[in-house]
Each structure stands twice: as structure tokens, then as C-alpha cells.
Structure 1
Amino acid sequence: MTADFTTWDITLPIALAALAIGYLLGSIPFGLVLTRAAGLGDVRKIGSGNIGATNVLRTGNKKLAAATLLLDALKGTAAVWITHHFFGEEAGILAGFAAFIGHLFPVWIGFRGGKGVATYMGILLGMAPEMVLVFAVVWLALAFTTRYSSLSALVATLVIPVALWILGAEKIAAAMALMTLITWWKHKANIVRLMAGTESKIGAKG
């Protein structure tokens, strides 16, 4: 899967500005901020040590986990929409990718962030809103049949760039494909557990 990036019409200053805006928005560690604000301490010291919604849920606060999921997604959407509005589509694509990297490697907390699925979806919402439904359908179908949340998300991230490519959105497809590769890399421990049959299923206790 390749894209002709020679057709991109964006100046270096605008590209750098888009990357900076996206990264700074994406690097906001909402899971950590919300749990601390709620008096639940440092979410990095429980469970997987991750700052994402799944680990926030391990605090026992479902509303806080839902808020983390929503905000982690919307910071990606905001990065795309803001830069697209002021600088154009290509700037939005760059900002979206930078927001994804910011979530995974936030400068504020030692570059140790989340795994990126919520932010991936938020970026997708900003770039190609109709594809969010495709992602949701794939995720729900697999989650219902396999009960593996991680597997459902990983397969959904594979489907998205292919669907975008087929629809002719080559630049967005290329960006999402790169984010998919990084998402799989961040989920390597989950993949090992899936292959070993030890990955936790949805609804499983412990």
C-alpha cells in the first residue's frame, strides 16, 4: 500500500505547525489527570500501568473510564479538525498522526502513554467519519463472537486502511495504515497472549 506524497501541497512551516499542534493535543494524559483529580492516585501504579481507559476501569470507576475513553478519542478529533480548518486537509492528516504519537509517547510523563485505540478512533472520526461505523461494526462483530476486545480492535484497525484505499482516500489510508502498524506493535503483549490462549475475555473476572 503506497501513496503518491509528491502530490501533497503543504509548506514546511504549516506541516511543522500541524505536527506540533497534534502532538501537544495528543499528549494530554487524560487517564492520569482524571484519576488524580478524582482522588484515586496515580493510575500508572495499578494494573497494566497504562493511562488508557481500560486501566482506568481497574480503579472501579466506570464513569471515569468512560470519560477517559471519550477524551482520548476527542483529542485526536480536535487535532484533525482544528488544523484542517485553518490549514487544510493535509495538515489535518499530519496533526492526526502526531496526536496518535503524542498519546503513545507523551512528553509530560516520560513518553509512556496508552496503546492508542481510542485516539485512533477519534482521529478516524476527524478524517473520515463514515469509517467510524465500519470500525464499530467490525469490533462489535468480533467482540460478540470471540469475546476478545484486543483482537476485535486489532482486526478493525486492519480493515480501516483497506476500506479507505478502496474508496480512493489514499492519503488518509496511508496515515491510518501507519497508525495500524504502530497499534499492532503496541499490542504485541496482547498478541502473544492471544496466540497462547491466555488473553482475558470481555466480562472475565480477574
Structure 2
Amino acid sequence: MTVGTALGWTAGVAVAFLIGSVNPATIIARLLGKDLAASGSGNPGATNAGRVLGRRWGVVVGVLDVLKGLVPTLVAGQLFGAHAAYAVGIAAVLGHIWSPFLKGRGGKGVATTLGAILGVHPWVALVVVVVFAVAVAATRWVAAGSILGAVSMLVLAVLIWTGHAPGDVWTGLWLTAIGLLVLARHKNNVIGWWRQRRLP
């Protein structure tokens, strides 16, 4: 890796993190006179925006969150290749999850993760979307779709490592990393579901 390439990667990661840190849900809510932190689930993401501001605004926020992951990843991939796109994609997701503009708070990273995947591996994004849609349709629970979508990333990573799906070891590691990030952000949902299942 040349010095110029290294600097390009560093700049790309920094810019992607800042782009990811911009939170459309919070901005739109404030423009409409709402405080997402004190409404609904308190989460500054598309699902809570749809719940508090209305479905139309939830869709708008979701699209913007996808673009936060998609655009930087696409640009990095075109300029420096897939491995740079992986680094930039994770940076965008981390920015969304731990936004310095929200004092370290942020959304759960689902839409931004989808955008990052779409920018590098559209076929993986298609699988994740299908799993998400089927899970939500079956359970009427968005968190279930997000959790199972993240699990599907881990399954695809294993298939890649075993040679049953296209990609190299870095693709598998990347999918594992962002899949675990999304699962970690939904740990309270998983714990709550497990406790409900154990109630008599």
C-alpha cells in the first residue's frame, strides 16, 4: 500500500464516520418540533421516527440512513477497491451507532449496515432484505427482522469461508463484524424476548 493510498483510506474512513454520525431522524424530528429521545422507544432511528413522526417520515429516515452507508462505500470501492469499502462501511455504521453529535448515542445501525452491504455486495443485501421482510411479516416485529437479518450475515460468512458462497476471507470477516454489531445493538430486544418466552 502506497502512502497516497493509505492517506486515501484514512480520509475515507474519517469522512464515512462523520457522514454516519449525522442523524436524519433527530434532525427531522427537531424540525417538526419533536424529541425522539423522549418519545417512543427513545431510539434515534427509522423505526422510532416512523412511530413518532408517522410512517412517511420513517421511510424518509430509513432511506437517508441507507444512503449514509451506501454512498461512502460505493465511492471507496470505486477509488480503492473492496477492502477499502469494507473499512469505510464499518466506519459509517459506527458513526451512526455512536454519533459524536448525539454525545455518543445513536441508532441501531440496521439501515446504514444495509447501505454498506449494498455498496459492495448487492446479492448479500438482497438476502438480508428478504430475511428481514419475511421475519417482519411473520412476527409483526421489526426488531425480529433486524436480528434475523444480522444472523443471515453470519450464516453467509460461514458459507463464504467454506466455499459455498462467493467471496474471500475478508468478506466473511466483514460480514461477521457488522452482523455482530447489529446483534449487539439489539441485545435488549433479545433479552426481553427470552424473558417473555420463559414466563409461565
Report the TM range for the smaller structure's normalisation.
0.7 to 0.9
| Alpha-carbon distance change, 42 to 60 in structure 1, aligned in 2, over 3 angstroms | closer
- 1:134-165: per-residue Cα shift (whole Å, max 9, x none)? 11221222223333321222122122243252
Match of 2:34 in 1: 41
Q: Check the 8 A contact 1:26/1:100 in 2, yes or no.
A: yes
- TM normalised by structure 2 equals 0.86
Separation in 2 of the partners of 1:59 and 1:53? 10
Q: For structure 1, list consecutive stretches of 5 or more residues without a partner in the other structure.
A: 1-8, 199-206
Q: Check the 8 A contact 2:76/2:84 in 1, yes or no.
A: yes
Residue identity (%): 28
- Report the count of equivalent residues: 189
Cα offset, 1:185, TM superposition = 1.2
Match of 1:131 in 2: 124
Separation in 1 of the partners of 2:185 and 2:70? 21
Match of residue 108, structure 1, among 90, 101, 105: 101
Separation in 2 of the partners of 1:93 and 1:127? 8
Q: Secondary structure at the match of 1:197?
A: helix
Q: Check the 8 A contact 2:77/2:120 in 1, yes or no.
A: no
Q: Which has the higher helix share?
A: 2
With CA pairs under 8 Å and 6+ residues apart, which has the higher RCO, 1 or 2?
1
- Is it true that 1:23 corresponds to 2:17 in the alignment? yes
- TM normalised by structure 1 equals 0.84
Q: Check the 8 A contact 2:96/2:109 in 1, yes or no.
A: yes
Match of 2:149 in 1: 156
- Is it true that 1:187 corresponds to 2:180 in the alignment? no
Separation in 2 of the partners of 1:197 and 1:112? 27
The amino acid that maps onto 1:15 is: W
Q: Check the 8 A contact 1:22/1:95 in 2, yes or no.
A: yes
The amino acid that maps onto 2:13 is: L
CA root-mean-square deviation: 1.8
Cα offset, 1:13, TM superposition = 2.0
Q: Secondary structure at the match of 1:94?
A: helix
Q: For structure 2, list consecutive stretches of 5 or more residues without a partner in the other structure.
A: none
